[in-house]
Amino acid sequence: MKRSLKRWPFLLLHLTGFILLWLVLRDLQWSSFFEELRSYPAWKYIAGLLLLSLVYIAKSYRWYNLNRTFGIKTSWKAALVFYLSAGFLSVITPGRLGEFAKIYFLKRKYGIDTAAATSSVILDRVWDVLVLSLFASLSMVLLFSGPGERLLSLLLMAAFFIFSLLVVLVPAVLFKPLLYMTGRFKGIHGKLEGLYELWNTNRFNNFGSSLSITLLSYAALFVIPLIFSAGTAFPIQLKDGVGAVSISNILSFIPVTIAGFGTRELVFSEVWKLSQYPKEVAISISSCYFIVTYLGSLLVGGVVYLLNLKSLYRPAELRKMKEELPDQN
């Protein structure tokens, strides 16, 4: 009974994404939408998958370097396998369990301490928020013409950017509250103190490489909508592609949607409406972006997971693992 009651807020929260999706699609001209969707040749999907593969390769190398900062010794190949498998598990499970999966992989494969593994995964995601908020802020300046709308949007994205930058460069922002809250628990407190020292000492070691890798990774993702719109009656501009992808990815960190349904379509349609793109075009390209990024992760990551990690990590353990992780500290 208690477990069922805990799930209700989670389910209702995710229902928000499908409500947003219905609001976006309720007046869609379906014949025009399917006509647009049929016009994209197969080579564009292949090009998108190749770009997605480059993103995974680059981000797994970033995570591999961050792991070394926390004293976690893995190979780049293992980091890539974990990253691809986590992407697959994020697609097939709600609640971003793929991120927890990376922690679990490190624990099961290498016996890494939960606190160290969690810290490397958090820092890895902080880099994504940092760069996405930067691109989103720049997009807001170019997309919104009204000073009030522009100011509000900039303040929101600037808050994401400043907090992420502080976490990377001033880890006390993250660790001081945690150390205060765990003062009574000597075991956890001692581990966090050690991690804080590691993070604080090495905070500049991978800054340049992590920033460069993250910038290049998202630049590759921004190209995907441009590929699909190229050669059509509505070729999108760079600012529109960057704005739609960066803002929708920022919103994906908020747990109100499964696989980005609702928030992605809302952002693509509303952002591109500012540049007079028909909703059918926006939704068709957002659908193609979904097919490449999510179904691509499902296909590639699923194959990697089944070949390498199925014996380590079974789908039946997903929810149980998330519930038990805090107790393993």
**Closest-CA residue to 105 (of 79, 75, 126):** 79
Structural Rg of the chain based on CA atoms: 20
**3-class state of residue 311 by DSSP:** coil
Asked if residue 20 belongs to a domain, the reply is no
Domain assignment present for residue 13? The answer is no
Average pLDDT along the chain: 81
- Which band of pLDDT confidence, cut at 50, 70 and 90, is reported for residue 266? confident
Contact between 69 and 202 under an 8 Å Cβ cutoff? The reply is: yes
Structural domain contains residue 22:
no
Q: Across residues 141-164, what is the average pLDDT?
A: 71
Query: Residue 140: which pLDDT band, with cuts at 50, 70 and 90?
Result: confident
Domain enclosing residue 320, as ranges: 50-328
- 3-state secondary structure string across 83-121: HHHHHHHHHHCCCCHHHHHHHHHHHHHHCCCHHHHHHHH
Half-sphere exposure (CA, 13 Å, Cβ side) for 20? Answer: 22
CA distances from 243 to 11, 151, 164, 267, 268 (A): 29, 16, 19, 9, 9
Averaged over 20-30, what is the pLDDT? Answer: 88
pLDDT over threshold 50, residue 221: yes
Res 316: pLDDT: 56
Name the one residue in this structure whose structure tokens are 């509000």: 152
Distance in angstroms (rounded) separating the CA atoms of residues 200 and 195: 8
| Six-digit token string for 214 | 């993250």
Q: Is the pLDDT of residue 255 over 70?
A: no
pLDDT of 39 strictly over 70: yes
Q: Does a structural domain hold residue 94?
A: yes
- Residue 211, pLDDT above cutoff 80: yes
In a domain, 179, yes or no: yes
Res 326: pLDDT:
45
- Assigned domain for 35 exists: no
User: In this predicted model, what pLDDT tens digit does every residue of 271-302 receive, in sequence order?
Assistant: 888 778 899 999 999 999 999 988 888 888 88
Q: Would you give the DSSP letter of residue 185?
A: -
Q: What 3 state SS string does 149-165 have?
A: HHHHHHHHHHHHHHHHH
Determine the angle formed by the axes of helices 238-251 and 263-273, rounding to 10 degrees.
150
CA separation for the pair 1, 67 (Å, rounded): 40
Query: Look-up: residue for tokens 């209700």?
Result: 8
Asked if the structure places residue 31 within a domain, the reply is no
The 3-class SS string of 6-60 reads HHHHHHHHHHHHHHHHHHHHCCCCHHHHHHHHHCCCHHHHHHHHHHHHHHHHHHH
- 6 lies in some domain: no
Whether 309 has a pLDDT exceeding 70, the answer reads no
- In the numeric block, the tokens 């659908």 are attached to 287
Q: Tell me: the pLDDT tens digits for 76-127? A: 988 998 888 888 877 776 555 677 788 888 888 888 887 788 888 888 888 8
How many structural domains compose the chain?
Answer: 1
